[in-house]
Structure 1
Amino acid sequence: MTEGEHSMEDRARIFAPVLAQVKRLADEGKPVAIAIDGRCGSGKTWLSGLIGDRFPCNILHMDDFYLPFGRRAQGWEAVPGGNMDFRRLRDELLIPIRAGQAAVYRAYLCPEDRFGEARLLPVRNLTVVEGSYSRHPSVGEAYDLTIFLTCSREVQRRRLAQREGSRYAAFEERWIPMEENYFRCFDVEGTSHMVVDTGGAY
């Protein structure tokens, strides 16, 4: 068995309870929204892709909802979620989606500090919002299922070092401390419907 095959087996096993809950919601036949929050390197994007492979759904990435630098408040790094545009996520997308309506949005392109082309989200009963800060209180009670993914610091370091290469230092110095502050302030892990440790997944 190759490493890749082993990883796929382990991931399917670890996420089986999540997929069962997603299926339960999808079978209800009404608009529902799911949040996948958790630590960077824990597999949020991978899980959203797995759900997208198995269920017709819209997938939203929190990376598309950063605030432009010119709109961030002074000292934003000390404010949990101070770099995110929660109002746009809530008003332009989650409210119409949960009302069974199509929605249009423009992803923010952080490296270029500009917005991309308009994207249409068709009417679908299942919407997945993945990424850190998706559970911020500013979004409100927008989700029917909330999932928190976690892993040990050792696993996180290994995964991020492999994924980010030379950019890894920025995660240690800035992004991980900001995330952990957000998790603590709002007890994101403790208030999630499901918590999954992905340490054995890959």
Structure 2
Amino acid sequence: MLEAIRLYPKMQMQKIIDQMDSLLRSKDLVIMAIDGKSGSGKSTLADLLAQYYDCNVFHMDDFFLRPELKTEERLKEVGGNVDYVRFKEEVIHGLLSSTPFQYRIYDCQTLSFSEHISVAPKKLNIIEGSYSLHPTLIHYYDLKIFLTTDDKTQSRRILKRNGPIMHKRFLHEWIPKENQYFEEMRIKEKSDIIIEVQGK
């Protein structure tokens, strides 16, 4: 855990904690999102925060597009690489109901829904992953965090995490789509806290 903490600048981490604590004191329901570049440490940051706070954590990776939604028109859409409609219906609406709910995990390997996750209402809820700050979702969040890192570090981490075959797909397919989404939707500029992630 200490190794993971060192990835994030101390002052920025303190800023996140201060803002989270302030929101938790003033609101009955807090929803925050962590968006940013692939390999920048979004899921690691969410896991770190979950060790200190009693919270729900949701992963945008569980909401990739199903094959039947991958129309030519949808694939040309900036930010259309995730099923933001299902995420809004199953997770956001569930959180706003303040009652127990379920959502489905989509498995890209089997091209099917792998399981249903039951969610108990909690005051703090963290959404992590690319496209979490999509324009159809961004106004639901109380705190918006954007993580970035340099291209060499990003490439090295993805290669280590995903292997050479998936690394090529990231470089030639998914990262260009992410970068277009970040730039055209001005995701970084709309975020409350921006973190330049350090590390190996």
TM over 0.5: yes
The gaps in structure 1 that reach 5 residues or longer are none
**Aligned-pair CA distance for 1:78:** 2.7
The C-alpha deviation readout for 1:37-77, integer Å capped at 9, x for no partner, is 00001100000001110101110000111121112221543
Structure 1 match to 2:15: 17
Question: 1:45/1:140 Cα in 2 relative to 1: closer, same or farther (>3 Å)?
Answer: closer
CA distance in 2, matches of 1:18, 1:71: 36
CA distance in 2, matches of 1:121, 1:55: 16
**In the alignment, is residue 154 of structure 1 matched against residue 152 of structure 2?**
yes
CA distance in 2, matches of 1:72, 1:46: 29
Structure 2 match to 1:50: 48
Residue 140 of structure 2: SS of its match in structure 1? coil
Residue 80 of structure 2: SS of its match in structure 1? coil
Q: 2:191 corresponds to which letter in structure 1?
A: S
TM-score normalized with structure 1 length? 0.90
**Aligned-pair CA distance for 1:92:** 1.7
Question: 1:22/1:79 Cα in 2 relative to 1: closer, same or farther (>3 Å)?
Answer: same
User: Which stretch has the larger CA shift, 109-118 or 35-44?
Assistant: 109-118
Residue 84 of structure 1: SS of its match in structure 2? coil
The 8 Å contact of residues 90 and 102 in structure 2, kept in 1 or not, is answered as: yes
Q: Give me the identity figure in percent.
A: 31
The 8 Å contact of residues 90 and 103 in structure 2, kept in 1 or not, is answered as: yes
The 8 Å contact of residues 64 and 109 in structure 1, kept in 2 or not, is answered as: yes
**Aligned-pair CA distance for 1:7:** 5.2
Residue 190 of structure 1: SS of its match in structure 2? helix
Matches within 5 A, 1:100-115: 100-115=98-113
CA distance in 2, matches of 1:7, 1:85: 29
RMSD: 1.9
Q: Runs ≥4 in structure 1, deviation > 6 angstroms?
A: none
User: Which stretch has the larger CA shift, 121-130 or 69-78?
Assistant: 69-78
CA distance in 1, matches of 2:5, 2:80: 35
